[in-house]
Amino acid sequence: MKNSPQASVLIIGHKRRIVELKLLANTLLDELGRDPRFKSPDVLEATSSLVD
């Protein structure tokens, strides 16, 4: 299946949202005094210019 530019933007947006949710989960876990569950990727900053 060939990816259209619109599909690529949707996929990047979806992955960016997943990273945001993982960061939020880690923040909430930290507030509860628990260890983070997810690794902290630098991908969010790298992809932000592609989606905005």
Cβ(5)–Cβ(50) under 8 Å? Answer: no
Of residues 34 and 51, more confidence is placed in 34
* Tens digits of residue pLDDT in 4-50: 888 888 899 999 999 899 999 999 999 999 999 998 766 555 545 44
pLDDT at 28: 97
The pLDDT, as a whole number, for residue 14 is 93
Number of domains in the chain: 1
- CA 39/CA 7 separation, integer angstroms: 27
Q: What is the pLDDT of residue 6?
A: 87
Domain residue limits at 14: 5-51
Its pTM stands at: 0.65
